[in-house]
Amino acid sequence: MSSDHEAASTDLIARRKRLLGPAYRLFYEQPVQFVRGEGVWLYDPAGNAYLDAYNNVASVGHSHPHVVQAIARQAAVLNTHTRYLHETVLDYAEKLLATFPAEISQIMFTCTGSEANDLALGVTSALAELSPSLGLPMPKDSHARLVPAPRSAGDDTGDIFARHVRGALDDMKKNGIRPAGLLVDTIFSSDGVFADPAGFLRPAVEAMRAAGGLFIADEVQPGFGRTGEQMWGFARHGLIPDLVTMGKPMGNGHPVAGMAARPEVLAEFGARSRYFNTFGGNPVSAAAGIAVLEVIESEGLIENARRTGAYLRGQFQQLQARHPLISEVRGAGLFFGVELRHGGPTGRPAASETAAIVNMLRERQVLISAAGPQANVLKIRPQLVFTTEHADLLAEKLDQVLQALK
Amino acid sequence: MSSDHEAASTDLIARRKRLLGPAYRLFYEQPVQFVRGEGVWLYDPAGNAYLDAYNNVASVGHSHPHVVQAIARQAAVLNTHTRYLHETVLDYAEKLLATFPAEISQIMFTCTGSEANDLALGVTSALAELSPSLGLPMPKDSHARLVPAPRSAGDDTGDIFARHVRGALDDMKKNGIRPAGLLVDTIFSSDGVFADPAGFLRPAVEAMRAAGGLFIADEVQPGFGRTGEQMWGFARHGLIPDLVTMGKPMGNGHPVAGMAARPEVLAEFGARSRYFNTFGGNPVSAAAGIAVLEVIESEGLIENARRTGAYLRGQFQQLQARHPLISEVRGAGLFFGVELRHGGPTGRPAASETAAIVNMLRERQVLISAAGPQANVLKIRPQLVFTTEHADLLAEKLDQVLQALK
């Protein structure tokens, strides 16, 4: 980076702090400014291209022309809300629901994944309130129990996770709380990416259902083909959820999110509650959503996520063979957690090396991030349009950086 | 409406119920489908034009070309998030903050007005937690107190409202709750539109500030020139808030919202909390926001809201003189509450007539709605680009409908 650009960047950081206040954070020790995006590439003001192996929002590629055109076309015609009749939101609902098992046949729209999860919790609470109360007064915020995420991929992953869920259910019972449901990110993104063995979620979901609760699949990160082979993360586990929340890649950057549901779950909620979201399900959001589904379909992106994902996984495994710092390579499709430890799988978490690698890759114009409770997992989520050439470039740079760290 | 269109509309309603479930509601006894919007007009599939005197989201006019172009242009170039540096969000922050008193100099972005209000409550709770606790354990959801909205515009409106606020403050003190702030929609939209006398909010805000709490102005509905003469509803009251939340018309339909703040209010929050919103403050949202401000400015829409608003108010007052059902005409700029009662200002609320008028106007291709706890207030919020010709048409149709009701 030239000193001119460094100075401009410093100015921008100061201006940002002045205008947006102190709560915002930037990525990287040396934050990066982008002015243009195309496919898997982001460009800084000097025209340098960065390989994007992180951003899971513009999932079908930055500024994808088909999505951009859909947004522009619909915005020029009409943008209203769901209290008038409009076909586009119904066309979108139909097309999106067709990607789900037949049991999940209704959808409600929000603007963000958080709103979708809030809506799911609202629906499940409404159901829980219908049940005979056990009569114990409980402060509202103690109704939830947090269970530990899986720690590695093994034959006992499902049993261990289910044991934690059963433990939480017992504790809730003891405290007079009727369990409303189990809410799980089906690839445990923020916990460090846990996908395997496929199906490990089943015993935990069975335990929740036996206790009368629902299974809510949070597909905000794993959804829309990210995990390869299938559209939704829950499908890898052979499960059919009661509620599914989704967001981030849904409009390739346009703010659209939603909650799909089994109709029997919504029936009681709908009889007792009205739902309206000012921007949620507007015709432009719906047009963006349709365009994203069309691109996933026409460009075969789920198959590409599977194929390029498998190739990239192979690359990471080769790196693991050469760099003992890599203790585990996890993931599904184009969503990877590459865990770093000193001294093998049970060794000390390599948090500072993880941060160093993320920053060194940024200097080499490759974008990834870190995750996990110990911040020792490289979070790698390339665009679904990644090719083997992009995978080679990513692996080559990661190899260089791991080499430089030695 | 032809029977063909009626049948199509019935099909669409059934399809909608099947796909979106039972919680969504439609406007009107005979719901209306729109396929195109332009300026103050919405068009149904048969090409009939409806005068829009209700929708306060597409506030600078439906599908305004300047806003549509800004969205299309930026979406084609780049749409990322606030963890990278990007100038457009800062340009927008600067331009938007320039419309506030100098004391309010920072802004944070969300996607919806609800998210903006949640953020404001988060910031104020963070401040409240800093204070010496009174040591009483309190269930979280009992921390809020609801005070009655004003009931009419009079010399004592401010005193009555302040008395309610002081009563709530006393009750909070008794219960060991430290007041965090007073959150007010500065035109009391859902309560039936209470704007006058300008300044009536001051004593209540003084009472809250004396008790150590903040004043949070909810400008989701009154903001962006809606009230005429000024950009923000709080300005009519001669107040400078600590936090301001905004949404709906901010992107003329594009999902963008935010919270502006005095920096001293954000300082502590920012030191203790990080803030990130996946879609919030993205470059496309920012471009849409800038374009809306440019249109408000270049088309003189605040002055137009004042001028056309005053003209329309005159029309409503003429109708009031001829139709005793109208008990009060309230509002500011282009935001009206026309209250309907049998037998004058203290008479029985005319809720069924209010609903009938809203539906009869829809049959005459004019869009308004109803508000107020007794559902007896016509809520009229024309686009800011309304002209006196549009005002005449609206008043003429309302006159016909009031006549038909006699």
Cβ density class A246-280: b for 16+ within 10 Å, e for less: bbbbbbbbbbbbbbbbbeebbbebbeeeebebbbb
Helices (H), ranges, B175-277: 202-210, 263-272
A295 contacts A157 by C-beta, under 8 angstroms? no
- Name the β-bridge partners of A214: A181
Instruction: Say if B309 is an interface residue toward chain A (CB within 8 Å).
Output: no
| Least confidently predicted of A218-227, B137-146, B248-257, B397-406 | B137-146
Helix (H) or strand (E) holding A385: none
- In the three-class reduction of DSSP (H, G, I as helix; E, B as strand; rest coil), residue A24 is classed as strand
B222 contacts B56 by C-beta, under 8 angstroms? no
In terms of CA atoms, which chain B residue is nearest residue A263? B21
User: Is B107 or A175 the better-scoring residue by pLDDT?
Assistant: B107
Chain B interface mutation, best of A28, A59, A78, highest count of B Cβ atoms under 10 Å: A78
**Separation of alpha carbons B131 and B212, rounded Å:** 10
Instruction: List per-residue pLDDT tens for chain A, 406 residues long.
Output: 456 777 788 899 999 999 999 999 999 999 999 999 999 999 999 999 999 999 999 999 999 999 999 999 999 999 999 999 999 999 999 999 999 999 999 999 999 999 999 999 888 877 665 443 333 333 445 688 999 998 877 889 999 999 999 999 999 999 888 899 999 999 999 899 999 999 999 999 999 999 999 999 999 999 999 999 899 999 999 999 999 999 999 999 999 999 999 999 999 888 888 999 999 999 999 999 999 999 999 999 999 999 999 999 999 999 999 999 999 999 999 999 999 999 999 999 999 999 999 999 999 999 999 999 999 999 999 999 999 999 999 999 999 999 999 8
**Separation of alpha carbons A265 and A245, rounded Å:** 14
Query: Is the pLDDT assigned to residue B136 strictly greater than 60?
Result: no
Closest to B158 (Cα-Cα) out of B222, B221, B239: B239
Q: Is the Cβ pair A266, B76 closer than 8 Å?
A: no
Instruction: Say if B190 is an interface residue toward chain A (CB within 8 Å).
Output: no
Q: Is the Cβ pair A21, B263 closer than 8 Å?
A: yes
ipTM of the complex: 0.95
* Residue owning tokens 């590695």: A152
Q: Which residues on chain B are in Cβ contact (under 8 Å) with A279?
A: 57, 111-112, 253-255
Q: Which of B26, B75, B111 sits opposite A112 (nearest CB)?
A: B111
User: Is B399 or A271 the better-scoring residue by pLDDT?
Assistant: B399
**Which pLDDT belongs to residue A129?**
53
The proportion of chain B whose per-residue pLDDT surpasses 90, expressed as a percent, equals: 86
Helix (H) or strand (E) holding B399: helix B388-405
Instruction: Say if B119 is an interface residue toward chain A (CB within 8 Å).
Output: no
Q: Which of B22, B26, B263 sits opposite A85 (nearest CB)?
A: B26
Instruction: Say if B255 is an interface residue toward chain A (CB within 8 Å).
Output: yes
CA of A274, closest CA in chain B: separation in Å?
5
Q: Which of B94, B112, B255 sits opposite A19 (nearest CB)?
A: B94
Closest to A327 (Cα-Cα) out of A354, A301, A309, A308: A354
- In the three-class reduction of DSSP (H, G, I as helix; E, B as strand; rest coil), residue B176 is classed as coil
Q: Is the Cβ pair A20, B108 closer than 8 Å?
A: yes
Instruction: Say if B279 is an interface residue toward chain A (CB within 8 Å).
Output: yes
**Which pLDDT belongs to residue A137?**
37
CA of A27, closest CA in chain B: separation in Å?
5
CA of A240, closest CA in chain B: separation in Å?
18
Q: Which residues on chain B are in Cβ contact (under 8 Å) with A25?
A: 83, 274-276
Instruction: Say if B403 is an interface residue toward chain A (CB within 8 Å).
Output: no
Helix (H) or strand (E) holding B257: strand B257-261
Peptide bond into A139 cis (omega under 30): no
User: Is B176 or B85 the better-scoring residue by pLDDT?
Assistant: B85
**Which pLDDT belongs to residue A395?**
98
**Which pLDDT belongs to residue B134?**
37
Give every CB contact of residue A219 below 8 A, 6+ residues apart in sequence. Answer: A186, A232, A233, A234, A244, A245, A246
Q: Is the Cβ pair B87, A12 closer than 8 Å?
A: yes
Q: Which domains does chain A have, with CATH numbers?
A: 34-60+300-405 (3.90.1150.10), 65-132+143-298 (3.40.640.10)
Give every CB contact of residue A352 below 8 A, 6+ residues apart in sequence. Answer: none
The proportion of chain B whose per-residue pLDDT surpasses 70, expressed as a percent, equals: 95
As a whole number, mean pLDDT of residues B132-140 equals 38
Give every CB contact of residue A146 below 8 A, 6+ residues apart in sequence. Answer: A168
**Separation of alpha carbons A113 and A34, rounded Å:** 24
A229 contacts A215 by C-beta, under 8 angstroms? no
Closest to A239 (Cα-Cα) out of A196, A206, A271: A206
**Which pLDDT belongs to residue B113?**
94
Q: Which DSSP category does A132 fall into?
A: P
Query: Is the pLDDT assigned to residue B4 strictly greater than 90?
Result: no
Q: Which of B18, B26, B267 sits opposite A83 (nearest CB)?
A: B26
In terms of CA atoms, which chain A residue is nearest residue B137? A139
**Which pLDDT belongs to residue A131?**
41
B380 contacts B53 by C-beta, under 8 angstroms? yes
**Separation of alpha carbons B28 and B26, rounded Å:** 7
**Separation of alpha carbons B398 and B406, rounded Å:** 13
Instruction: Say if A83 is an interface residue toward chain B (CB within 8 Å).
Output: yes
- In the three-class reduction of DSSP (H, G, I as helix; E, B as strand; rest coil), residue A190 is classed as coil
**Which pLDDT belongs to residue B7?**
79
Query: Is the pLDDT assigned to residue B357 strictly greater than 70?
Result: yes
- CA end-to-end distance (rounded Å), chain B: 25
**Which pLDDT belongs to residue A287?**
98
Query: Is the pLDDT assigned to residue B177 strictly greater than 70?
Result: yes
Instruction: Say if A5 is an interface residue toward chain B (CB within 8 Å).
Output: no
**Average pLDDT of every residue of chain B:** 93
Q: Is the Cβ pair A35, B107 closer than 8 Å?
A: no
